[in-house]
Amino acid sequence: MIGNIVCVAIGGFFGACARFGLTGWFNRKHPAALPWATLLINLSGSFLLGVIAGSDWSQPIHLLFGTGFMGAYTTFSTFNVENVQLIRKKEWKALAIYIIASYVLGMALAYAGDLIGERL
């Protein structure tokens, strides 16, 4: 159990550092209105987590790179891999509910949080 937590923590540390570093570097090199750095991180994270999820690597490697690194690098990757899993299971209703709820409720809650944050 402790070994699993350590794998996730180490991966999370490096994933968060990678996201922070890449975002800062990219935004300095390519300032734009569209958050390109976040888009590229989320897309690369989706691909990399797909590789990890599709592999038969050991549990510690999955925890280190999948849960830890990719979890801190991007949560968008997890969302997409879970959608692929629902597609493979042909769980169309669950897929639709998950996607719609994630985006609609997610944006609504982000907006509500933003409004509350402005008043603090």
| pLDDT tens, position by position, 65-120 | 999 999 999 978 889 989 999 999 999 999 999 999 999 998 999 899 989 988 88
Domain assignment present for 9: yes
- Please tell me the total count of domains within the chain: 1
54 in a domain, yes or no?
Answer: yes
Chain mean pLDDT for the chain: 92
> Is 4 in contact with 60 (CB distance < 8 Å)?
yes
In angstroms, rounded to a whole number, what is the distance separating the alpha carbons of residues 21 and 25?
6
Give domain status of residue 30, yes or no. Answer: yes
d(CA 16, CA 56): 25
| Residue 53 belongs to some domain of the structure | yes
Cα-Cα end-to-end distance for the chain: 39
Tokens 């990890």 belong to which residue? 52
pLDDT > 70: percent of the chain: 100
Q: Is 24 inside a domain boundary?
A: yes
Q: What is the pTM of this model?
A: 0.78
Asked if the model's pLDDT at residue 34 lies above 90, the reply is no
Whole domain around residue 58: which residue ranges? 2-74
Q: Is residue 102 part of a domain?
A: no
Query: Across residues 48-69, what is the average pLDDT?
Result: 93
